[in-house]
Chains A and B, each alone.
Chain A
């Protein structure tokens, strides 16, 4: 069961990585983009637990690093950390509350903030970029933008169920 969920996460994650690199730049606002591959990671981590989130985060991160031509290892560490922390909110009896309520958006926001901030911090940066700027522009704003997409995803899931 876990294997199917794992494959699902990685395959959906990979499709969203391609979408992220090909079409998402068209909807960037002041170079702030939503990070779509984190949606299946958060959703399935809340269903399957912390180890699942850590490993699938690492694999989606590795795929992202290779496909994007970015810093190899940066995506792995940032996404596995996001998956690991999201995994703290996993509970066998909580999947309904987690994935079918407002809390999904909250977890998504938190995971995207962790990913975006870590990924930006790990990448080679100009030393003049301030820590506050990294938190706000690289962490908070992409997290807000991704949460908007998360809300649409949440509405879609709720309607389907």
Chain B
């Protein structure tokens, strides 16, 4: 009996090897978000990121761009401030009265470089050279000097993984700045798209799009993109709006992580602190 089984296995060992690997990988995929597996992933990522970073540093050694980086930092800060002012201008014009806004024009930006990029049509994921040592945490937005790039999804002590706007699993609450039309934008594998906007809403190509006040992930008024075109859906009652990102996402190299915690992250932190106090 045993001999027959062994002979059977020997005859079909190719299939047994493949089947075993397939089963292991399906388990890995299934339990990808388990804390122990996450820890393993973070450990591996940290070690390999050091290799990536070393290679990247060697390449960087041949180009002195400290001045460019500092100007980019300044540009990013100014971009955030200008956009807030622009938004305030729109609100002032509409309400015809002064609105006292909380001073949110100061953003704490942490400069970071892209160490590696995992690019596909639907899975934009970058590795940055800043981590918990620089008080970076999951959920912080990432921008460049022009606008929004993505969000931090994994952090190690020295590195962080971000999902870019060109990741189909990232959905962003946005506002069309001129008319305050709200919507949800995501990447459909070909373009950034805002679905199901009523045709009666005033949206024209060229309108600026920014993160919404209602966003639970991003601070309000971060520039995201420009309206490219409106496409009526089958019924003709609703529009899908395609958006051109303001920031060059594919060419992104020098980025800034905004030390900003969304409402959800802040609540989580609050609860953790409460639990630790009790």
Residues of chain A from 1 to 32 with CB closer than 8 A to chain B in the complex: 18, 21-22, 24-25, 28, 30-32
B55 touches A18 (CB 8 A): yes
Q: Which chain B residue lies CB-closest to A136?
A: B121
Q: Compute how far the CA of A77 lies from the CA of B21 in the bound complex, rounded to whole angstroms.
A: 7
Q: Mark B228-272, 1 if CB is under 8 A from A, else 0.
A: 000000000000000000000010000000000000000000000
* Shortest Cβ distance from residue B168 to the other chain A in the assembled complex, whole angstroms: 4
| Chain A residues whose CB sits within 8 angstroms of the CB of B75 once the complex forms | none
A87 touches B14 (CB 8 A): yes
* Shortest Cβ distance from residue A80 to the other chain B in the assembled complex, whole angstroms: 5
Q: Which chain A residue lies CB-closest to B195?
A: A128
Q: Compute how far the CA of A54 lies from the CA of B118 in the bound complex, rounded to whole angstroms.
A: 23
A58 touches B25 (CB 8 A): yes
* Shortest Cβ distance from residue B62 to the other chain A in the assembled complex, whole angstroms: 14
B44 touches A66 (CB 8 A): yes
Within 8 Å by CB of B122, from A30, A61, A76, A123, lies: A123
B18 touches A54 (CB 8 A): yes
* Shortest Cβ distance from residue A92 to the other chain B in the assembled complex, whole angstroms: 15
Decide if B68 is an interface residue (CB 8 Å cutoff).
Answer: no
| Chain B residues whose CB sits within 8 angstroms of the CB of A22 once the complex forms | 52, 55-56, 59, 115-117
Q: Compute how far the CA of A159 lies from the CA of B24 in the bound complex, rounded to whole angstroms.
A: 41
Within 8 Å by CB of A18, from B40, B51, B186, lies: B51
A72 touches B37 (CB 8 A): yes
| Chain A residues within CB distance 8 Å of chain B | 18, 21-22, 24-25, 28, 30-33, 50-51, 54-55, 58, 61, 63, 66-74, 76-77, 80-81, 84, 87, 116, 119-120, 122-126, 128-129, 133-134, 137-138, 142
